[in-house]
Amino acid sequence: MQILHSKILGEGKPLIILHGFLGMADNWKTLGTQYAENGFQVHLVDQRNHGKSIHSEEFNYEVMANDIKNYLDHHHLGTAAVLGHSMGGKVAMQVAVGHPDKVGKLIVADIAPKYYPPHHQEIINALKKLDFDTIKSRKEADEALAKHITDFGIRQFLLKNLHWVGKDRLGFRFNLDVLQNKMEQIGEGIAPQAQYAGPTLFLRGDRSEYVLPSDYTIIKTHFPNAIIETVENAGHWLHAENPKQFFSKSMAFLNQ
C-alpha cells in the first residue's frame, strides 16, 4: 500500500486539504501556512495521479477516499477536519460518508454532491497537444498552451505541474492518460443513501455556477447539518480569488 505524498505544516489539530482536478498540494501552500499559524497541523495532500503521489489505473472516489483513510491511519491522526476543493471536495465528501469516524469537520469548496457532466475535455486536449520532444522550457510550454487556452491564470495553474522528468526533458506530474480516460468518474455524485451528520460547511463562489441555490436540497439530504455560505467576488477558484474571505469563513467554522 502506497501512502499519498504530502507537505505537513505546523502543529495542532489535524486539517487535511485536498486539491482539485489537475491540481497539487502546492496550490494550497499560502492558505495552508495561514491555517498552520492558527493552531492547525496542516496536511497538504497530493491525490493519486496528481503531484508526487502514485500513478494508478484505479481512479474513482471510493478508491481516493480510501487513500485518505489510509493516510490518516498511517499518520495516526484519528479524527481530522477535511477541506476539499472541486474534485477534492468530492473526495472529502466521500471520506465523510464512508468513514464518518475519521472526519470531525467537513469543508467543501465550490462543489455539490451531485453528478456533473464531463467538462474538462478542452483543457485535456490542449495539454495532449504539447510536444515535449520540442518544448524545452516553461516559456515555450506556455506559448504552445496559449494557442488553445487564452486564460493566463488557468495556464499558470496547469504549468505549475511541469517538472524535469529526465535530463533536458519536461513532463507533467499528473497522470494525463489516466485522467483523460476517467473523465466520467470525475463528475460522479455521492451515492443516493450516503449521509454524514457531522458539522459541515459548503463554501460557494458568488460568480460560480458549480453550486446553485437549486443544489441546496441535495446538499442538505446528504449533509443534514450543513451550513452553506457564499464567498463574494469569486468564481470556482474561490480560495485563490478571495483568499481573505475564504480563510475567515473557514476559520470561523473550524474554531466553532
Task: Catalogue all structural domains in the chain, each as residue range(s) with its CATH number.
Answer: 6-116+188-254 (3.40.50.1820), 121-181 (no CATH)
| Catalytic annotation, pick one of 56, 119, 131, 177 | 177
Whether 86 is catalytic: yes
Task: State yes or no: pLDDT of 120 exceeds 90.
Answer: no
Q: How many C-beta neighbours within 10 Å does residue 152 have? A: 10
Question: What's residue 35's pLDDT?
Answer: 98
Can you state the percent helix, strand and coil of the chain, rounding each to 5?
A: 40, 20, 40
Reduced to 3 states, what is the DSSP secondary structure of residue 82?
strand
Whether 142 is catalytic: no
| Catalytic annotation, pick one of 6, 86, 208, 250 | 86
Q: Which one, of 237, 183, 191, 192, lies nearest residue 210 by Cα? A: 237
Give tens-digit pLDDT for 189-226: 999 999 999 999 999 999 999 999 999 999 999 999 99
Q: Which one, of 61, 130, 110, lies nearest residue 210 by Cα? A: 110
| Catalytic annotation, pick one of 53, 236, 239, 250 | 236
Half-sphere exposure of 128 (CA within 13 A, CB side): 12
Whether 53 is catalytic: no
Task: State yes or no: pLDDT of 168 exceeds 90.
Answer: no
The pTM for the full model equals 0.96
Give tens-digit pLDDT for 222-254: 999 999 999 999 999 999 999 999 999 999 999
Helix (H) or strand (E) holding 15: strand 13-18
User: What percent of the chain has a predicted confidence (pLDDT) above 70?
Assistant: 100
Task: State yes or no: pLDDT of 184 exceeds 90.
Answer: no
